[in-house]
Amino acid sequence: MPLPSTHEVTELLKAWTAGDERALEKLTPLVYRQLHQVAQRCMAGERADHTLQTTALVNEAYLRLVDCSKVKWQDRAHFFAISAQLMRRILIDFARSRSYQKRGGAAVHVSLEEAPCVSNEPDANLLALDDALTALAAMDQRKSKVVELRFFGGLSVNEVAAVLGVSSDTALRDWNFARAWLVRQLSGEN
């Protein structure tokens, strides 16, 4: 199945915003595969045995997107930016809920032979990334948004520039700065 044109998706989004429910029915099969790809990127850093599967993440994000009836969709890039942001929030909420379980609820049960190979590191990394992105947002909201759109949304620099209303050069500078800043934050350097 070929990818739908950007124009086609944008027109359906605008029709949906205007209240056309048939537009949502036409839009869903057109964007599902791309939403699944965004979810796969979001899940790439997670454990292989993560209890939240890619399809479940897509479905949860879809339910929240459909509930966003008051959003004035600008275009395809805006839709996927919001989708990526929702998926990030879902994963962060899921990771936090796991870390708050009491009395060993989050403990992984394994045999002694498997014990050296088990780690909850991806959840910790995701929470650390979220904390670092929150700190970056406090310093510079746009740079944080660029990371979210590129890393979680998989948008190109040009698409990020269009969503944020800046030039491609500005988006690229923000991306390069934010990546370096995050590496430094996550590595513990001052």
First-to-last alpha carbon distance for the chain, in angstroms, is: 49
Asked whether residue 111 is domain-assigned, the answer is no
> pLDDT digits over 148-168, tens only?
888 777 788 998 898 888 999
Task: Indicate the number of domains in the chain.
Answer: 1
Asked whether the predicted pLDDT for residue 100 surpasses 60, the reply is no
Range of the domain at 69: 6-101+116-187
Q: Is 37 contained in some domain?
A: yes
Domain membership of residue 109 (yes or no) is no
Q: Which two tokens stand for residue 160?
A: 């990020």
pLDDT reported for residue 75: 82
pLDDT value at residue 120: 44
Query: Does 80 reside within a domain?
Result: yes
Within its chain, how far is the Cα of 148 from the centroid? 7
pLDDT band (50, 70, 90) for residue 102? very low
Q: What is the mean pLDDT of residues 120-135?
A: 72
The DSSP symbol for 116 reads G
Give 143's pLDDT tier (boundaries 50, 70, 90). very high
Residue 174 CA from chain centroid, whole number: 18
Contact 154, 38 (CB under 8 A): yes
CA dist 138 to 123, 155, 174, 185, Å?
23, 23, 15, 14
* DSSP track, 25-87: HHHHHHHHHHHHHHHHHHHTTS-TT-SS-HHHHHHHHHHHHHT-TT-----HHHHHHHHHHHH
Determine if the pTM surpasses 0.85. Answer: no
Is residue 16 in some structural domain?
A: yes
Q: Is residue 108 part of a domain?
A: no
Q: Is 80 exceeded by the pLDDT of residue 86? A: yes
For residues 23-52, average pLDDT: 78
Q: At what angle do helices 54-66 and 76-99 cross, to 10 degrees?
A: 120
Residues 6+ apart with CB under 8 A from 113: none
Which residues in 12-29 are b (16+ Cβ under 10 Å) and which e? Answer: bbebbbeeeeebbebbee
